Chain A
Amino acid sequence: MAVRRKDTLKTKKLKRPLDRQWNTAVYFLRCKQIGLTLSELFCLEYGDVMDMQIEAANDHEQYDYLATQADFDNAFH
């Protein structure tokens, strides 16, 4: 029986911008989603919080594994 090869390739389709305005309501929602309180926000810079939100979004992305010495050993021995 033929086995269909799983295609893991992804198209590099450009993402179109969203028609959603970045405002204080969305910002505060994202802050609460990552568990920040108002008193914590007092101690942080706006840029720090944006960095945290970017990294929180990056958590949902898939990353390639980096090759280890064991991988090279397996490949060449």
Chain B
Amino acid sequence: MEKTIVLGEKSIKLRSSAATNILYKRLFHEDVLTKLTTYTKNLKELKAMQEKIQALRNDTERPKQDVLADMNELMNSDVLEVAMNFQSETLPRLAYVMYLEANETIDTIFKKLTEEQYLFWLMTIDQDDLVSVVGEVIDVWQSGAKTHSKPKN
């Protein structure tokens, strides 16, 4: 799956393939598949949390102090921290691997698959812009991950 996403005033081409997770592991020594699984669960938890916060906002019967205390407890939970970690660490790393796949050939990709090159690339983009298109970056991966075969058992 190949897609061009707009980061601020800059547009970058991203491509995911069956080798994306292998390249990611080779460069960052982390497993992007487990990170994506955790993030998917985290999204559900975030949605549930948002609903709880909305319910607390609409709650006019309880004392304000109790409502604020509950809100604080929710905001300090691990759910937000996991999402922030994904957006600040995993997302730019995944985007870099996809950027390399879209813009380099098989022969040249391994030369750019270094920590220094990644840090250099990070300087060329605005990370805040990247966070705003988190859905599009994940979409590049997920669109290529669709299966059609069904296991018999």
Chain A residues proximal to chain B, CB less than 8 Å: 15, 21-25, 27-28, 31, 36, 38-39, 41-51, 54-55, 57-58, 61
| Contact B151 A57, beta carbon cutoff 8 Å | yes
| Contact B34 A21, beta carbon cutoff 8 Å | yes
Which residues, 40 to 97 on B, are CB-close (under 8 Å) to A? none
Q: How far is the CB of B133 from chain A (nearest CB, A)?
A: 20
Q: List A contacts of B147 (CB < 8 A).
A: 47, 50-51, 54
* A-contact 0/1 string along B15-43, CB 8 Å cutoff: 01111111011000001111001000000
Contacts A23-B31, A24-B21, A41-B18 given; does A46 touch B144 at CB 8 Å: yes
Q: How far is the CA of A15 from the CA of B22 in the complex (A)?
A: 30
Q: How far is the CA of A42 from the CA of B80 in the complex (A)?
A: 34
| Contact A42 B106, beta carbon cutoff 8 Å | yes
Q: Which residue of B lies closest to A26 (CB)?
A: B33
| Contact B153 A15, beta carbon cutoff 8 Å | yes
Inter-chain pairs besides A45-B144, A51-B147, A54-B151, 13 sampled, C-beta below 8 Å? A15-B153, A22-B37, A23-B33, A24-B25, A24-B32, A24-B33, A31-B18, A42-B19, A44-B18, A46-B20, A49-B18, A54-B149, A54-B150
Q: List B contacts of A21 (CB < 8 A).
A: 34
Total interface residues on B, CB under 8 Å, equals 28
Give which listed residue, B17, B19, B34, B152, contacts A58 with CB less than 8 A. B152
Q: How far is the CA of A50 from the CA of B16 in the complex (A)?
A: 14
Give which listed residue, B33, B106, B145, B151, contacts A45 with CB less than 8 A. B145
Q: How far is the CA of A28 from the CA of B146 in the complex (A)?
A: 18
Interface centre among B1, B147, B153 (most CB of A within 10 A): B147
Verify if B10 is at the interface (C-beta below 8 Å from A). no
